[in-house]
Amino acid sequence: MFSLASGIYKQLTEKVEYNVIIVGPDNAGKSTFVENAKNICSISRNLVKKNLKKIHTTVGLNLGKIERNDMIINFWDLGGQEKLRSLWKNYINEAHGIVYVIDASDKDRFEEAKNTILYC
């Protein structure tokens, strides 16, 4: 009987988790995207918002999380430096989604951005 009640409770309270990788060239705005998403989703929760001007370049991996009623979204913000791009493929199989970020105001890097997507 306890296992039945436990199973029902777990099903009612369990949150579905999604993993989303954020990739793109360095300085494209990937970390800013993650922080903005967290800020937007925390408006009604009175959480402390990060000052977007204080975001530093990601070296390696930056983790972000949004937790809503029955869902958790884990953001894996992967560094965009050329030497780190070969690591992106290690995260693809665990991801439910990919967000590819480019800086639309940096036209000089469009060709690099186009080639960088091949690392995914």
Rounded to an integer, what distance in angstroms lies between the CA atom of residue 81 and that of residue 58? Answer: 9
Would you say 86 is a known binding-site residue? no
Would you say 114 is a known binding-site residue? no
Would you say 24 is a known binding-site residue? yes
Q: Which H or E run contains 115?
A: helix 110-116
Would you say 65 is a known binding-site residue? no
Would you say 25 is a known binding-site residue? yes
Would you say 28 is a known binding-site residue? yes
SS3 51: coil
- Could you tell me which residues are annotated as the binding site for Mg(2+)? 31, 58
- Could you tell me which residues are annotated as the binding site for GTP? 24-31, 80
- Could you tell me which residues are annotated as the binding site? 24-31, 58, 80
